[in-house]
Structure 1
């Protein structure tokens, strides 16, 4: 593979291991989400319970990101990932037990999702040690492409697989993917020591550490601007949540709903590849604010009520731009965070993204009920663009020479 392309990251053995382990987990999770929806609906006949089970695969991550991500700064990160994978393998296997009471199923699911937070924080904090320099952005792009592609393929094939093997067997398959991930990590990732504390209170853990970590980000002008821009991504996921009513408003059928929901992931894949492959490294940080604002423009144009084909293009373009700017905010944010507090910082930022997406989707749904889905999507685009303009100004003022930011040796976010 060309040295300047995304494939260069696969020349790093540890990245290959981390990527394969993550691929196992993504594939298993997509299968489990479909299996849970089928299992819960089949046992209760309730669409509400099915929706609750699906929501529980996401929402506890908000709490876990704040409370548990600090474990990645207190213990060896490889061990944090392995222990989380082993525990999740066992718990998901428990969920596969036939006739398990529904409340037990949901309680176990919450714990499984909570355990994903320290794993994600440890993985995110470890990547700068594995991928140095510009390779880090390429690694982020590869992971984005992998996860979005998994969504496209997973939801398309998950139903067929669950129908062929039963929900319980599918859950056992998900448990096996966690176990495989743990084995791969144990064999292929270097056992590094726990990160050295930088002396901040956030390294101590507990409520004091949580508050200190949040305050540290809030008082750092550069990281504050970056994390606020990242949280604004919530406005740009509103269309995906409103795909069904939007299609109905256009007079289109169920097939169009799937196409609309696929537009953003497809745009994300293209955006990640194009941004890292063709935009010079020295230019990317300067474009963060511009792309964040621009991502809202295609959604705002939906107010003109274009047909399905044009809407698909608009949503895909928005996905391209939003993914590109989010990749760079992540890279710049982690580069500006000392290694000793990196896990906590990643957890706080990721939790904010989840919360922002939930809040934006809720507001979009309320607006769609009060007016119509097309207007709600357009308003989300305008809100995202306007707020991102403020974030862009804050980023420029905090870092007027974004292209000249050097990465100190102590802040290896490679």
Structure 2
């Protein structure tokens, strides 16, 4: 694929860093459109599959526990596979990694369409199709800064994140409607299979190879284990670990989604209100990410911690068990503040050199998924002992206080560190030895 001139290239002599990137600048880049479209339609397909699996398993077993277990299996495998597989995207062409991953998932998903497939086999296939997901995500996220250099990257990341939330809502809604209209969950699984295949085709035809930077994938990256180098790299840098920790705190702020049904029952809102409650924070987050995407480097840096701390405040107000409209408004505001996630993710990605990026992202993603699972589980237990409103309020308070503590300890929000050292391989070796490495890379 021929190189595409970036929209800022002919900006009448003004430096790229002095201009605020626009959404049309980002969408004008063909490779970004390919990444964006592949991600959105694949995410919609994932939600089709989750709805179909939940309904299929419950229909066969009439067991809420087994249904919840199979649903959890779509979330749990990345906790192990993320730090182990993500490193492949730092060794091979990221286009090849993404396309091969999508083709593999399409093949496994196709087996799940078979109507007579036994339930234990279906559960195993769910595990297999989920395991490579972190590899795809790490490769895609590591490729995005190359496709969108400089100020284009934060805008593109905002578009990706907000679109991802919207795609989840559409996937759940349309998937449920399809199964309800046809009575056939296997049809929704077939849609998911098609989206995997289409994603692979788009990526193979629309992207350049995007080989990882060889400067940080050499011998120093393999000392003590290539796959685990990303964990050492992140934990050796206080600010990197702080940014990752801020994203992990989202496990406190996502609790309302897990407790929407019991909370609706507590306030007497009925089952029809559950959908509104579950969509509230997602809708607020999608709007917030779009609003924050065009901020410059200084406002992004200064707002990250305050927004993270503010995310839990509206949830604390849930303690009063307000009416449905007030609760939806509060959770929407929480989601709006929760868009700090895109600021933390952008800062994290920009701080890691290209050849280490997929492994570092894989580690951070595994931590986020773990935090979400633990946060939901802990809040569920607390809701059993007390009330759903109390559990949601407590989770919000813990998240807000922890965000302030992390920000102060990691000095997030202060002026950026100096320029990147000239020898990335040497710095990576220093990180492996336990010394903090300060890297600020601008692609």
* Secondary structure of 1:75 counterpart: coil
- Deviation at 1:88? 0.6
**Against the structure 1 CA distance between its residues 200 and 218, is the aligned structure 2 distance closer, same or farther, given a 3 Å change threshold?**
farther
C-alpha separation in 1, matches of 2:280 and 2:103: 35
1:340 matched to which residue of 2?
A: 355
| 1:163-203 CA-partner distances (Å, limit 9, x unpaired) | 34422222122111111111111111012334315267784
Matched, 1:291 2:270: no
Q: Which has a greater percent of helix?
A: 1
| 1:325-371 CA-partner distances (Å, limit 9, x unpaired) | 11111111111111111110000000000001111111111111111
**Against the structure 1 CA distance between its residues 387 and 358, is the aligned structure 2 distance closer, same or farther, given a 3 Å change threshold?**
same
1:240 matched to which residue of 2?
A: 257
1:268 matched to which residue of 2?
A: 285
Among residues 323, 330, 333, which one is paired with 1:314 in the alignment? 330
Among residues 141, 149, 169, which one is paired with 2:187 in the alignment? 169
- Deviation at 1:4? 4.4
- Deviation at 1:54? 1.3
* Secondary structure of 2:214 counterpart: coil
2:67 matched to which residue of 1?
A: 50
Q: With structure 2 as the length reference, what TM-score do the two structures score?
A: 0.87
| 1:115-161 CA-partner distances (Å, limit 9, x unpaired) | 11111111111011000112111111111121111122222221121
In the TM superposition, what are the counterparts of 1:90-129 in structure 2 within 5 Å? 90-129=107-146
In the TM superposition, what are the counterparts of 1:15-164 in structure 2 within 5 Å? 15-164=32-181
Which stretch has the larger CA shift, 105-114 or 149-158?
149-158
Q: CA RMSD in A?
A: 2.2
* Secondary structure of 1:356 counterpart: helix
- Deviation at 1:241? 0.7
Question: Is the 1:238–1:377 contact (alpha carbons within 8 Å) kept by the matching residues of 2?
Answer: yes
C-alpha separation in 2, matches of 1:105 and 1:347: 26
Which stretch has the larger CA shift, 173-182 or 150-159?
150-159
Structure 1 runs not aligned, ≥5 long: none
In the TM superposition, what are the counterparts of 1:335-374 in structure 2 within 5 Å? 335-374=350-389
Corresponding residue pairs, total: 409
* Secondary structure of 1:70 counterpart: helix
1:401 matched to which residue of 2?
A: 415
Structure 2 runs not aligned, ≥5 long: 1-6, 8-18, 425-439
| 1:255-291 CA-partner distances (Å, limit 9, x unpaired) | 11111111011111111111124x4442111111111
Question: Is the 1:129–1:413 contact (alpha carbons within 8 Å) kept by the matching residues of 2?
Answer: no
C-alpha separation in 1, matches of 2:192 and 2:410: 41
